[in-house]
Chain A
Amino acid sequence: MTADVTSPGVVRVLVPGRSVRHDLRAVKIVLHRELLRFVNDRTRMFSTLIQPVLWLFVMGTGLSTLISLGPGQGVDFRTFIYPGVIAMTVITTAMFSAGSIVWDREFGFLREMLVAPVSRAAIVIGKCLGGGIVATAQGVIILALAGFVHVPYSPTLILTLLGEMFLASVTITAFGVSLAARMKTMQSFFGIMQMAIMPMIFLSGAMFPLANLPGWLAFLTKINPLTYAVDPMRHAVFSHLSVSPRVVEALNPGVHWFGWHVPILAELGIVALMGLGLLGVAIAQFRRTD
């Protein structure tokens, strides 16, 4: 080893060659930054909560008088949309996290990441896991409201929902990152985001039950990926309620493919596979950017 001449007191750093360990450190720090940004940005934390709370308590209460007359008699409408609101919160927060990539590009920080000797995959994975954790944390606030809408605070329910929320958030962040990878301005990203998110939420069964829909609408809900993230959450909530089977059938019908009731595990599998696929797309998109 050559003895380099450096003045005393200088910490000389020798950066090691690229390794999996190095890439893991990169994943960790990108994720860590995501969390720091979330914790530091109270406005964002607050603003992404407004919409779900409005849905749950204003729309939910308003519509409940109308809906309590229907087949869902005996179940508060707010209880019904509760899992949908969780999904909505998680999705919006995850999309916001993904959108920060566009912000990073506008303000130059993306360049700091792109010129580092780490794989682009490490950066994308860090970003998606970070977005997933942040969105789940935001969802926890909605979880805390369960008591107000007659959903029990059962540990198994909370754990199940946490897992499902995390899975959905990572997938949605990956979706957002693959969209954001090539976008130059925040405006265009949020434009696209609104365009993609609104129909996906409407068609996911977050706001109305998927039973007895007209054919075209039923078809659209079945091809909407978000449906498979919302349905397991609703299933989890309903399995912790004591309501008559007739009501469950009306409000929590599950997803059927040509008469086959798609099991919850298969739905979660679909979400996970989609997440991996989108992660791949996001990494590929990122490799092409400069």
Chain B
Amino acid sequence: MEPRTLWDDQEAFGQGRGTVTTSEAPAVAVRGLKKSYGTVEAVKGVDFEVRPGEVFGFLGPNGAGKTTTISMLCTLIKPTGGSARVAGHDVVKERDEVRRNIGLVFQDPTLDGYLSAEQNLRFHAELYAVPKELVAGRIKQVLEMVALWDRKDAKVMTFSGGMKRRLEIARGLLHSPRVLFLDEPTVGLDPQTRSAIWGYIDKLRHSEDITIFMTTHYMEEAEYCDRIAIIDHGEIVVVDSPEALKAGIGKDRVQIQTADDQTAIAALRERFELDAAVREGLVTFAVPSGEQFVPRLFAELGVPIRSVSVSRPSLDDVFMNYTGSTIRDAEGESAGATWMRAMARR
């Protein structure tokens, strides 16, 4: 059967989408968005725009407000201030319009394990009123996209974690959303599955007319995004492309292991006028040309150095530059909060 597009077939099922979203309008527009729980401000008034067709990443440590923000954009929780428009619709006033135009993939699975993969998708198709004549074709297409077509009749409870996540991505795409929200799409998956999922996301942006909004706390994954917003303590610190952010640093990162870190830090300040700090257990600082600096360091520091590493600016450095800590340190600090969140989710 020749797959056809409904754009040619507008009259086939009567009413169309209420408002056609033009490709010039931002896919997501957020103004002063706030969410507080009692006196705790989880999201402290953020502003940003996501352009149509881009892969936009929300990067930050656990507990920074990523999931809270994405939940507000997906109409799952109500903001306490500000406004947000997704696919041209207000997330509070036009909740159903927003829901119709977005696909969601959550951190926690939301599949029915007793149903087959295909039955799960069929359930979704009916709930989202996908035109009947298109259901079968579309199911086949999304299942093929995530390489699960041959497993369509297997019960979902027999699937591995990675397969479930792939099925959820397929389901999120089933009703051709304008914006696909992925909340930590690769968390808890093995490296191989993670790269497979990135493969699908990459394929997606070429085959579908879609905007992807995702959260992650993996630096390596943020590199796949067209633009990223770094969020820390409920605030957006910077928004730009990964390349521009890294170029903006302009310095290499040097990490040394010494016999006496505090003396080394003091020595770096006195002799080289460098601000150093202990990050991930190593004395860390930034200099313009790392390799050329290392010989001077050995000659003049006056504290025995056990090891040294020099690295080009990475998103880690960008993160550190804007927030004053590495993402892993930031997570260590909020590990208690994360644990509590995990318990609360149970």
> With an 8 A cutoff between CB atoms, is B323 at the interface?
no
**Distance of A11 from chain B, by nearest CB (Å):** 5
Q: Does A15 contact B17, Cβ atoms closer than 8 Å? A: yes
Whether A2 contacts B23 in the complex (CB less than 8 A), given A14-B131, A19-B15, comes out as yes
Q: Which residues of B contact A18 (CB under 8 A)?
A: 96, 100
Interface contacts (Cβ under 8 Å), in number, total: 138
Of A7, A15, A113, the contact of B129 (CB 8 Å cutoff): A15
| Distance of A92 Cα from B17 Cα, bound (Å) | 44
Whether A117 contacts B99 in the complex (CB less than 8 A), given A1-B10, A6-B208, A11-B4, comes out as yes
Interface residues of B in 24-59 (CB under 8 A from A): none
> With an 8 A cutoff between CB atoms, is A142 at the interface?
no
Chain A residue with the shortest CB-CB distance to B173: A13
> With an 8 A cutoff between CB atoms, is A10 at the interface?
yes
Chain B residue with the shortest CB-CB distance to A116: B127
Q: Does A17 contact B112, Cβ atoms closer than 8 Å? A: no
Q: Does B108 contact A13, Cβ atoms closer than 8 Å? A: no
Q: Does A11 contact B134, Cβ atoms closer than 8 Å? A: yes
Contact residues of A: prevailing secondary structure: loop
Q: Which residues of A contact B295 (CB under 8 A)?
A: none
> With an 8 A cutoff between CB atoms, is B306 at the interface?
no
| Distance of A160 Cα from B327 Cα, bound (Å) | 68
Contact residues of B: prevailing secondary structure: loop
> With an 8 A cutoff between CB atoms, is A259 at the interface?
no
> With an 8 A cutoff between CB atoms, is A25 at the interface?
yes
Q: Does A14 contact B6, Cβ atoms closer than 8 Å? A: yes
Interface residues of A in 17-41 (CB under 8 A from B): 17-19, 21-22, 25-26, 28-29, 33, 36-37, 40-41
Q: Does B126 contact A11, Cβ atoms closer than 8 Å? A: no
**Distance of B130 from chain A, by nearest CB (Å):** 5
> With an 8 A cutoff between CB atoms, is A118 at the interface?
yes
Whether A4 contacts B17 in the complex (CB less than 8 A), given A13-B6, A15-B100, A117-B99, comes out as no
Whether A12 contacts B108 in the complex (CB less than 8 A), given A6-B209, A33-B123, A36-B115, comes out as no
| Distance of A109 Cα from B113 Cα, bound (Å) | 9
Q: Which residues of B contact A214 (CB under 8 A)?
A: none
Assuming A1-B10, A117-B100, what are 16 further A-B pairs, CB within 8 angstroms? A7-B206, A9-B3, A12-B176, A13-B174, A13-B175, A15-B100, A16-B131, A17-B17, A17-B100, A29-B123, A29-B127, A36-B114, A109-B110, A112-B124, A115-B76, A116-B124
Going nearest first, the 4 A-B pairs with the smallest beta carbon separation are: A29-B126, A117-B99, A116-B127, A108-B110
Instruction: Jot down 17 A-B pairs with beta carbons below 8 A, ordered by A.
Output: A10-B141, A13-B134, A14-B10, A14-B131, A15-B130, A16-B13, A17-B17, A19-B15, A29-B127, A33-B123, A36-B119, A37-B114, A112-B124, A115-B76, A115-B99, A116-B124, A290-B77
